[in-house]
A and B are shown apart, each in its own frame.
Chain A
Amino acid sequence: MKTLLLLFWGFFKIGAFTFGGGYAMIPLIKAELVDKQKWVDEGDFYDTIAVAQSSPGPLVVNMAVFLGLKIAKFRGMVMATLGATLPSFITILWIAILFQNFQHNPYVIAAFKGVKPAVVALILVPAWSMAKKSQIKGLTLLIPVLIAAAVAFYKVSPILFIVAAMIVGNLAYGRKK
């Protein structure tokens, strides 16, 4: 029961403080589930990102479903998913009902001018930590950089790289015994 409540609360916080797209919540999920509660180890956590990427829909919901199932089966999944989606649901419903011009409020606009560059940092640093943890070094470091350039500048679909990575992984590591 305690695990279920902690899962709900953990993902509720994640849902409430995730701005600027799913990737920015990666450090928050890691801090909560890996560092604090120690429910999953770091390697498993990074693999979960790969799985969440391969599934349709918002990254944060996919991570909640996968990690919820891993930590506390079906009930864990329900609690984590509810926790991750409720903050958006409540906030948007409140705005839709009461607060139509919220996005034009000068203080809201000013605050977000500050938040946006911080969100970039929130995504950039985990990419680096993950490369280190996965022991990607030397020339192999070029691969993620090239993938990033292809996706960001040439709008190549991430799905393509996910499929290719699974095949290349097997070609490169499969024969080393």
Chain B
Amino acid sequence: MIFRELFYTFFKIGLFSFGGGYAMLALIQDEVVNKHAWISVGKFTDIIAISQVTPGPIAINTATYIGYESTKSVFGSFVATLGVSLPSVIVTTLLFLFLKKYRSRPIVQNAFKGLRIAVVGLILSASVMLMNGENFIDGSSLIICAVSCLLIFFKNISAIYLMLASAAAGILLYG
């Protein structure tokens, strides 16, 4: 039964994908290309490319796309997307309930003091990892990044306007 298999596979992918985004690509590829052969390597590369130019988490995008491709039905898409999201919902809800109960304990308070420093580092690493030749192709890329930084820092520009403005700049420069 392909729907059950889809749900189970994407549930597993959702459950074991820590660190978000590209960290889970290897796991997804192993399951959907190597083990189940639902799609080819070429198609998988296409999905990654599509994910880069469409909004939303890559795990959800992949689940939605493969769910449709492997069953040719919207229901397949729905089942795979539900499967990949459920572990997040369940585990985060458990964490929420745990914190609600123990939030005021000193051990939890102090853990958060440490976490705040580490999370700054993790966010910083996410931006450092994006500073590569694929995202910065020429001097204009550097200017777009620098101007964006200034606009966010001094003008607190909304991310939505920033996305629209930078897309327009891209079309003007490279289109």
Q: Do A and B bind each other?
A: yes
- The reply to whether A127 and B116 form a contact with Cβ atoms under 8 Å apart is no
A156: min CB distance to chain B, Å: 9
B2: min CB distance to chain A, Å: 16
- The reply to whether A169 and B61 form a contact with Cβ atoms under 8 Å apart is no
| Known interface pairs A56-B15, A95-B54; A116-B120 also in contact (CB < 8 Å) | no
- In chain B, what residue has the closest Cβ to A169? B114
- The reply to whether A134 and B93 form a contact with Cβ atoms under 8 Å apart is no
CA distance A26 to B69 in the complex (A): 31
A66 interface residue (CB < 8 Å to B): yes
- The reply to whether B131 and A120 form a contact with Cβ atoms under 8 Å apart is yes
Neighbouring B residues of A21 by C-beta, 8 Å: 20-22, 57-58, 126, 130
| Known interface pairs A19-B55, A85-B60; A158-B174 also in contact (CB < 8 Å) | no
Neighbouring B residues of A145 by C-beta, 8 Å: 121, 124
A117 interface residue (CB < 8 Å to B): yes
- In chain B, what residue has the closest Cβ to A103? B49
- The reply to whether B118 and A127 form a contact with Cβ atoms under 8 Å apart is no
CA distance A158 to B87 in the complex (A): 19
Neighbouring B residues of A54 by C-beta, 8 Å: 95
A174 interface residue (CB < 8 Å to B): yes
A7 interface residue (CB < 8 Å to B): no
Chain A facing B: main interface SS: helix
Neighbouring A residues of B152 by C-beta, 8 Å: 27, 121-122, 125
The proximity string for A residues 116-156 relative to B, scoring 1 for CB distances below 8 Å and 0 otherwise, is: 11111111111110110010100010011111111111000
- The reply to whether A57 and B174 form a contact with Cβ atoms under 8 Å apart is no
- The reply to whether B128 and A148 form a contact with Cβ atoms under 8 Å apart is yes
- The reply to whether A91 and B54 form a contact with Cβ atoms under 8 Å apart is yes
A79 interface residue (CB < 8 Å to B): no
Q: Which interface class (under 10, 10 to 19, 20 to 34, 35 or more) fits B?
A: 35 or more
Neighbouring B residues of A72 by C-beta, 8 Å: none
B81 interface residue (CB < 8 Å to A): yes
Question: Which of A18, A85, A108, A120 sits near B127, CB closer than 8 Å?
Answer: A120
- The reply to whether A31 and B158 form a contact with Cβ atoms under 8 Å apart is yes
B9: min CB distance to chain A, Å: 15
CA distance A143 to B166 in the complex (A): 32
- In chain A, what residue has the closest Cβ to B82? A85
- The reply to whether B91 and A51 form a contact with Cβ atoms under 8 Å apart is no
- In chain B, what residue has the closest Cβ to A116? B135
B1 interface residue (CB < 8 Å to A): no
- The reply to whether A166 and B145 form a contact with Cβ atoms under 8 Å apart is no
| Known interface pairs A15-B56, A96-B65, A166-B115; A102-B88 also in contact (CB < 8 Å) | no
A165 interface residue (CB < 8 Å to B): yes
CA distance A28 to B152 in the complex (A): 11
- The reply to whether B159 and A17 form a contact with Cβ atoms under 8 Å apart is yes
Hey, which bits of chain B sit against chain A, CB under 8 A? 14-22, 46, 49-50, 52-61, 64-65, 68-69, 74, 77-78, 81, 84-85, 87-89, 91-93, 95-96, 99, 106-107, 109-131, 134-137, 141-142, 144-146, 148-149, 151-153, 156, 158-160, 162-163, 165-171, 173-175
5 examples of A-B residue contacts, CB within 8 angstroms: A65-B88, A122-B159, A127-B120, A158-B18, A167-B114
Query: What would 20 more interface pairs be, CB under 8 Å, given A96-B68, A130-B119?
Result: A19-B163, A23-B20, A28-B160, A50-B118, A56-B91, A57-B92, A69-B96, A92-B56, A92-B64, A92-B77, A111-B53, A111-B168, A114-B144, A116-B135, A144-B117, A150-B125, A162-B118, A165-B114, A169-B115, A170-B114
